[in-house]
């Protein structure tokens, strides 16, 4: 099986300056033994991922709760096999859309303590995945992991279950190599991450005694910004998801009988949505333009080819041409709006002449890191009100804020970020990009708010992973190296001296 070719950003000398070398990677070092053990156990790790992907843990589908329960039981057994003392914390009942109570999936809390004198890290992961059906365009069954060439295809292999198992693989490597684990670990593994992490904050507060000695929170999710250079996520912008509803009458009508006799809802919705952005993708809501100063320190250092990005997606033209700096600034720190769909309109392939009586536009606004969600919603209400007055439609219009994900930022000049930088450099032979994630992670803000601890996110998947909608994939090389990197992170974190070791400031974001 061919291996990925990793390239060094700028020059070897820059990588040497950016990462403080330690003596733990000599020819007979424990870290090298760990890396070798991960490679030896490669097929076992792939088989574990195949088993876990086979459970349809879609948290947004009520009928899949039995699959969720079986996956949780499987994971509890797997944790016990690596000496983790774990249990499932019950969250009570959840009300469905049909007003039927169903049990919420358990949150797994696990503890692996070797010595009170060692640092304790909290490892967060999630078992649930996004919806996936073959009819959506998958080339394989999303819940039967398939190896094609050098890639593993299946729902959750890159963003949810794969990164979670990399932690278990790393701990297993320590056991198999006869190397004592250098840190204590507390696991928090939820199964409602794709339902707004419902119940997570309650569990953290009720079981706070498990987390009193935690030094930092680490999670492996999301993806790199580059196809070849690893990324270290130090923060994420916030996000607000909206429903914009327009209703024109009390039932669906036929254009044969009613066309031209009333103000239709769908054209009104199109008009409203078209007034939210301009052709250059700027959000036309007061107070959202240029709301956050862009950290050009990290943008300049980022290994990212904007042209290659466009070629990979086969887009006819990119909005920022060849300007990598502007593209990353837009993705990381500047507000943008995305329209996700319209509920109530005909989306079938056949020909229909329906005039929908009510339509709902679904869109989200990704916030600048320093924007307050309540201010953006207030400005949006004012903007839509003015546009609606200009439209002079007699129909009913309503804006509904569905959910909010707060922004978060980690403290980069810290032992955990230094350990992450060292671990990635030793695993991939190149220093990582510092990334402010363009997506929105909810869990980090919850951990920061409840535990008051620093958070670092360590993605294992390259940028080209197929994506969340269809054909999610991860290369076997990324999966194996992800396990090695997390093993190296634990080793480096235990070796770091917070009094004297610091991350080089050349490409580090300003705190």
pLDDT at 474: 94
Between strands 336-343 and 214-219, the pairing is unpaired
Asked if residue 500 has pLDDT above 60, the reply is no
If residue 341 lies in a helix (H) or strand (E), which one and from where to where? strand 336-343
Total Cβ atoms within 10 A of residue 5: 6
Domain-by-domain residue ranges, the chain? 56-98+118-236+407-466+475-495, 239-292+334-405
Mean pLDDT check: name the lowest of 85-89, 213-217, 227-231, 376-380.
227-231
pLDDT at 242: 97
pLDDT at 322: 63
Of 339, 309, 338, nearest to 323 by C-alpha is 309
pLDDT at 80: 98
Total Cβ atoms within 10 A of residue 110: 22
Q: Which two tokens stand for residue 265?
A: 């809802």
pLDDT at 399: 97
Contact 257, 362 (CB under 8 A): no
Mean pLDDT check: name the lowest of 89-93, 226-230, 315-319, 507-511.
507-511
Q: CA–CA separation, 62 vs 163, rounded Å? A: 25
Of 163, 44, 194, 161, nearest to 462 by C-alpha is 163
The CA-atom distances, in angstroms, between 75 and each of 57, 71, 372, 441 are 12, 6, 38, 23
Is residue 192 classed as helix, strand or coil in its secondary structure? coil
Q: Which two tokens stand for residue 305?
A: 């080819």
pLDDT digits (tens, 9 = 90+) for 221-252: 888 888 889 999 999 888 999 999 999 999 99
pLDDT at 8: 32
Cα dihedral: 9, 15, 19, 21 (round 10): 140
Bigger pLDDT: 49 or 254?
Answer: 49
The CA-atom distances, in angstroms, between 294 and each of 313, 369, 435 are 26, 10, 12
Please provide the distance, in angstroms rounded to a whole number, between the alpha carbons at the two ends of the chain.
42
Is residue 457 classed as helix, strand or coil in its secondary structure? strand
Residues with Cβ within 8 Å of residue 6, at least 6 apart in sequence: 228, 229, 428, 429, 430
Q: Report the alpha-carbon angle 384-390-396, nearest 5.
A: 60
Q: CA–CA separation, 8 vs 6, rounded Å? A: 7
pLDDT at 326: 77
Contact 126, 106 (CB under 8 A): no
pLDDT at 5: 34
Total Cβ atoms within 10 A of residue 402: 11
Name the band, by pLDDT with cuts 50, 70 and 90, for residue 505. Answer: low
Name the band, by pLDDT with cuts 50, 70 and 90, for residue 15. Answer: very low
Name the band, by pLDDT with cuts 50, 70 and 90, for residue 332. Answer: confident
Asked if residue 41 has pLDDT above 90, the reply is yes
pLDDT at 463: 81
Q: CA–CA separation, 330 vs 323, rounded Å? A: 11
pTM, rounded to two decimals: 0.86
pLDDT at 501: 59
pLDDT at 48: 98
pLDDT digits (tens, 9 = 90+) for 406-463: 989 999 889 999 999 999 999 999 999 898 887 668 999 999 999 999 999 999 998 8
Contact 472, 155 (CB under 8 A): yes
The CA-atom distances, in angstroms, between 481 and each of 6, 21, 263, 427 are 12, 20, 58, 7
Bigger pLDDT: 285 or 110?
Answer: 110
pLDDT digits (tens, 9 = 90+) for 271-312: 999 999 998 888 998 877 666 666 777 777 777 777 777 777
Asked if residue 9 has pLDDT above 70, the reply is no
Q: Which two tokens stand for residue 38?
A: 């991960």
Q: How large a percentage of the chain has pLDDT more than 70?
A: 89
Q: CA–CA separation, 458 vs 220, rounded Å? A: 5
Average pLDDT of the segment spanning 50-61? 96
Between strands 85-89 and 107-112, the pairing is antiparallel
Query: In CATH terms, are 56-98+118-236+407-466+475-495 and 239-292+334-405 the same topology?
Result: no
- The string of DSSP codes covering 146-170 is EEETTEEESTTTTTTHHHHHHHHHH
Structure-token match 């924007």, residue found: 371
Asked if residue 17 has pLDDT above 70, the reply is no
pLDDT at 26: 65
Q: CA–CA separation, 472 vs 142, rounded Å? A: 8
Mean pLDDT check: name the lowest of 53-62, 129-138, 356-365.
129-138
Q: Of how many residues is the chain composed?
A: 511
Asked if residue 40 has pLDDT above 90, the reply is yes
* pLDDT, the chain, mean: 87
Q: CA–CA separation, 103 vs 136, rounded Å? A: 29
Average pLDDT of the segment spanning 158-180? 96
Between strands 354-355 and 454-457, the pairing is unpaired
Q: Which two tokens stand for residue 143?
A: 């819940």
| Greatest pairwise CA separation for the chain in angstroms | 83
Asked if residue 78 has pLDDT above 90, the reply is yes
- CATH placement of domain 239-292+334-405: 3.30.70.360
Average pLDDT of the segment spanning 481-485? 98
Residues with Cβ within 8 Å of residue 277, at least 6 apart in sequence: 283, 284, 337
Q: Which range in 43-52, 87-96, 310-319 is most confidently predicted, on average pLDDT?
A: 43-52
pLDDT at 10: 36
Q: How large a percentage of the chain has pLDDT more than 90?
A: 64
| CATH level 3 topology of 56-98+118-236+407-466+475-495 | Aminopeptidase (3.40.630)
pLDDT at 438: 72
pLDDT at 510: 62
Name the band, by pLDDT with cuts 50, 70 and 90, for residue 466. Answer: low
Asked if residue 150 has pLDDT above 90, the reply is yes
pLDDT at 193: 94
Mean pLDDT check: name the lowest of 53-67, 168-182, 257-271, 343-357.
343-357
């Amino acid at each position: 099986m061919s291996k990925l070719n990793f390239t060094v950003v700028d020059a070897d000398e820059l990588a040497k300056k950016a990462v403080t070398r330690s003596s733990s990677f000599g020819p007979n070092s424990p870290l090298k033994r760990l890396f070798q053990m991960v490679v030896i156990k490669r097929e076992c790790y792939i088989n574990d991922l195949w088993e876990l992907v086979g459970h349809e843990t879609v948290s947004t589908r009520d009928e899949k709760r039995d699959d969720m329960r079986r996956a949780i039981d499987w994971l509890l057994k797997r944790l016990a096999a690596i000496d983790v003392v774990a249990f499932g914390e019950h969250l009570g009942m959840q009300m469905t859309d049909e007003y039927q109570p169903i049990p919420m999936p358990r949150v797994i809390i696990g503890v692996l303590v070797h010595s009170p004198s060692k640092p304790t890290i909290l490892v967060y992961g999630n078992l649930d995945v996004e919806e996936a059906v073959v009819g959506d365009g998958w080339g394989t069954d999303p819940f039967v992991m398939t190896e094609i060439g050098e890639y593993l295809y299946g729902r959750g292999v890159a963003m949810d279950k794969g990164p979670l198992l990399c932690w278990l693989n790393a701990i297993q490597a320590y056991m198999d190599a006869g190397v004592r684990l250098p840190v204590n670990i507390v696991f928090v593994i939820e199964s409602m991450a794709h339902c707004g992490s419902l119940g997570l904050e309650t569990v953290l507060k009720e079981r706070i005694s498990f987390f009193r000695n935690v030094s930092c929170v680490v999670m492996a999710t999301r993806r790199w910004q580059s196809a070849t250079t690893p990324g270290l996520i130090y923060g994420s912008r916030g996000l607000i998801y909206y429903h914009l509803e327009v209703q024109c009458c009390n039932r669906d009508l036929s254009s044969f009988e009613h066309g031209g006799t009333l103000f239709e809802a769908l054209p009104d919705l199109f008009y409203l949505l078209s007034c939210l952005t301009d052709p250059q993708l700027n959000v036309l809501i007061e107070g959202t333009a240029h709301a956050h100063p862009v950290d050009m320190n990290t943008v300049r250092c980022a290994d990212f080819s904007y042209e290659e990005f466009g070629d990979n997606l086969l887009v006819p033209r990119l909005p920022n041409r060849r300007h990598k700096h502007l593209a990353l600034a837009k993705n990381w720190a500047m507000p943008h709006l995305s329209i996700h769909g319209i509920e109530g309109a005909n989306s079938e392939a056949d020909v229909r002449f329906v005039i929908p009586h009510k339509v709902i536009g679904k869109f989200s606004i990704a916030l600048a890191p320093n924007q307050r969600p309540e201010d953006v919603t207030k400005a949006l209400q004012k903007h839509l009100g003015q546009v609606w007055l200009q439209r002079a439609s007699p129909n009913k219009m309503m804006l509904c804020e569905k959910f909010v994900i707060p922004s978060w930022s980690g403290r980069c000049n810290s032992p955990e970020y230094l350990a992450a930088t060292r671990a990635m450099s030793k695993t991939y032979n190149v220093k990582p990009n510092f990334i402010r994630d363009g997506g929105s992670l909810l869990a980090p803000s919850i951990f920061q708010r409840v535990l008051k601890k620093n958070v670092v996110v360590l993605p294992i998947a390259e940028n080209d992973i197929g994506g969340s909608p269809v054909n999610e994939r991860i290369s076997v090389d990324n999966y194996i190296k992800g396990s090695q990197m997390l093993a190296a992170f634990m080793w480096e974190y235990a070796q770091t001296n917070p009094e004297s070791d610091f991350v080089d400031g050349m490409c580090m974001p300003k705190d």
